[in-house]
Amino acid sequence: MPSSRSFSGPGHRPTEEYVRRLRLRLNRAFPGVTFYFLPADIVSQTINFGLPAPFDVQIVGRDQQQNRAVAGRLAEKLRRVPGVADVRVQQPADLPRLQFAVDRVKASELGLTQRDVANAMLLSLSGSSQVQPMYWLNPKKGVQYLVNVRTPQHAMDSLSALNVIPAGIGQPGRGDAQVLANLATLRRSTGPPIVNHYNVMPVIDVLAGTNGRDLGGVLRDIRPLVAEAEKELTKGNFIVLRGQAQTMDSSFLGLGLGLIVATALIYLLLVVNFQSWLDPFIILTALPGALAGVVWGLYLTYTTLNVPALMGAIMSLGAGANGEAARLRLRSPVPRTRRRARPQRPSADPREAERVLPRAIGPHRRRDLRRFAYPAHRTRSRQFTRPYTRRKLRTGEIRRGRGGPAPDSAGQHPAVPRRRSAGGRGPARRYGRTPLGEAGP
């Protein structure tokens, strides 16, 4: 193989880049050998629901011979699709295998069964945990450890070593222990390494991954090939496309319906909030703009449409509706505020900044400043009064309202008459309406 020095570089590189390089070099160095890469990150493994590849084309049916032929032709077509990589058949039928046929007559003469011979082979090749698990208890720590006894792998390096595997324990009157060659006959054959079933039906899986292309684009090219291959199957057999493709379709359908339901719920909530059937339509006009911003953001960042993007789109609907609802709430108070603010415009002249600025941001608590702050923060002088107004609104000294005595021509508020309590004592109390619209006692 070529040297791997070119893999090293400044910093860390994405896993997909290393996989792409390995795929090219391995296929060039070992032609005729199938290499594939399993999902490397936990997110892909979770989305695949345990499948070893994003695309899983399952050929379901009992006509295994015809289904395997169709699976082979379909795999060849998938390899020619741009962006598809690691195409293979999960259950190949031509892998070599060694098959031992037990002579049950000889085994019964020795007091053994076919199950005893099979367990003896499992004990030597896989270990005692496959036949009868054994545990050892640590008396000091009180922890159980699994004990697995098996023949060392370096001792099973030839067919002769397989033939001398102990196949039975000697019993009184039955003879000595026997080896596998005395009870079974070895023959060579081919067959699938694994057999899979889905809903009791046997399946053949054609697996494929992606390389440098989005999942949706590859899926659009795969579906016509799958539909064409399904026509070649016999009656009672069919093809099912599973993996991330199935998850993507169901997720996009559910989130698309979620967008519609979210819009309807926003409208109904606004109807209850504003007690109007027409005002919420004004707010809903901002939602197309929010969705357009989502599409524009995906385009600028070269991001494909995916589940997180659709979830963000649903959240943007709420954010857009919230902003428009805030503007709509100010629609009614604005005309009243303008009527109150109109007499204050002469005093909001920029030339009066030297006089207004200290009173707006200073610690003064004069009544005329409190009268002036709320209506004036919507006029041209709001840049001077807004800091003081916000501070007072947060502390609760100013409360929103309407009405009150209008200022005179000079822009000054008249003094508010006061009265004392019935006993002539106690704090002074306003009567009538307060400057900001609160009803007096």
Environment class of 381 (CB within 10 Å of its CB; exposed 0-12, middle 13-18, buried 19+): buried
In the CATH hierarchy, which top-level class contains the domain 96-190?
A: alpha beta
Residue 425 clears pLDDT 60, i.e. is over it: no
Angle at CA 69, nearest 5°, toward 63 and 75?
Answer: 125
Residue 53 clears pLDDT 50, i.e. is over it: yes
Residues 74 and 241 sit within 8 Å (Cβ to Cβ)? no
Residue 56 clears pLDDT 80, i.e. is over it: yes
User: Using one digit for the tens of pLDDT, what is the confidence trace for 198-255?
Assistant: 888 899 999 998 887 888 888 889 999 999 999 999 888 999 988 887 778 888 888 8
CATH 1.10.10.10 fits 5-92+195-247, yes or no: no
The whole-angstrom distance between residue 403's C-alpha and the CA centroid of its chain comes to 54
Residue 264: closest CA among 290, 292, 284: 284
Residue 422's SS3 state is: coil
Q: What average pLDDT score do residues 356-363 get?
A: 50
Q: What average pLDDT score do residues 349-367 get?
A: 49
Q: In whole angstroms, what is the distance from residue 177 CA to residue 186 CA?
A: 19
Residue 294: per-residue pLDDT: 82
Angle at CA 271, nearest 5°, toward 270 and 276?
Answer: 125
User: Using one digit for the tens of pLDDT, what is the confidence trace for 318-331?
Assistant: 777 776 666 666 55
Judged by average pLDDT, the poorest of 47-61, 107-121, 170-184, 255-269 is 170-184
On whether the pTM is more than 0.95, the answer is no
Residue 375: closest CA among 403, 355, 414: 403
Give domain limits for the chain: 5-92+195-247, 96-190, 334-430
pLDDT band at 59 (very low <50, low <70, confident <90, very high): very high
Residue 379 clears pLDDT 50, i.e. is over it: no
Q: What is the 3-state secondary structure (H, E, C) of 323-373?
A: HHHHHHHCCCHHHHHHHHHHHHCHHHCHHHHHHHHHHHHCCCCCHHHHHHH
